[in-house]
Amino acid sequence: MYPIALELGNFSIRWYGVMAAVGFIAASYLLDYNRKSANLSKDQCGTLLIIALIAGIAGARIFYVTQFFYEKGFAEDPVSILYIHRGGLVFYGGFILALLCLVLYSWKKHLDIFRVLDVFVPAITAAHGFGRIGCFLNGCCFGRTTSAFWGVTAPEGSWLWVQTGGLPIHPVQLLEAGENFILCFIFCQFLKKGAKRGTVVSAYLAIYGILRCFNETLRGDNDLFWKFTPAQWIGVAMIIAGGSMYYYFTKHEKKA
C-alpha cells in the first residue's frame, strides 16, 4: 500500500525491508529464549540463525523468480533478480531451503534435528508475521476484491490500485500476520511446558498448511494449477506430513 518508508534524494528505505529487519530481530530473540529446549548454545543459535536467514532469502527469491520469470521481466533484465528490497519473495521457497539447510547442519553437528526444528518454529512464525506486514505495506501478495466491511483500498494511482480497479480487497496479508503471531505465542507456551520432541514442528506444519489453504482462497494474485494454487498444493503436503509426524511423536516420545 505504502512501500516507501523514507526517501532521501535518490535513496529510499522500503517498509518491506524494515519489516524484514524487525522480523529478524524478533526471531533472534525468540530463538535465544527457547534454545534451552534443544540444548543449544548461544553460538550454535547464532550460526543456525544466519544459515536460516541466508537460505530463507535465497530460497524465497529463487522460488519467486522461477514462478514469475517471464511475467515480471526477469528474462529481459536479469540484474533485477537481485532487487530483493522491492519485494518478490515466496515464503514456501524460503521455508523449504532453510529447512533443508538446518537439517543438514544439525545432522553434521550431531544435534537433535527435531528439537532444533521445534525451537525454530516460534522464530519462523514471528519473522513470517512481520514479513506479511511488510507485504501489506509493499502492496504484494494482495487479496481479491470484497464487499465486506474489512476491505481495504489501495492508494489511488498506485500499482495495486490499478491491479484491483480501485476496489476494496481482502487484507489477507494482515490476516496471515495475525495468524502467525498467535501461532508464535501458542508454540512458545508448548515449549515452555516441555512439549514432546518433534510435536511442535509437526503441529506447525499441519496447522499452517490448513491456514494457508484457507488464506489462498482470499488471494487475488495467484493462478490455479489443477484447481488449486501452488501454495495450496504445498499446504496439503504440509498437512499430511505434519499430521503423520505429530501422530508418531505423540505415541513414541516423552515430554522434555
Tens of pLDDT, residue by residue over 189-202, are 999 999 999 999 99
* Residue 11 bridge partners (DSSP): 8
CA 108 to CA 235: how far, in whole Å? 29
Model pLDDT for residues 174-224, shown as the tens digit of each residue: 999 999 999 999 999 999 999 999 999 999 999 999 999 999 999 977 766
CA separation, residue 96 to residues 61, 75, 203 (Å): 12, 25, 17
Model pLDDT for residues 10-38, shown as the tens digit of each residue: 777 888 889 989 999 999 999 999 999 99
CA 37 to CA 14: how far, in whole Å? 36
Give pLDDT, residue 188. 96
DSSP summary character for residue 80: G
Q: C-alpha cell of 171?
A: 487484507
CA 185 to CA 55: how far, in whole Å? 25
CA 60 to CA 220: how far, in whole Å? 20
Model pLDDT for residues 79-93, shown as the tens digit of each residue: 877 877 666 778 888
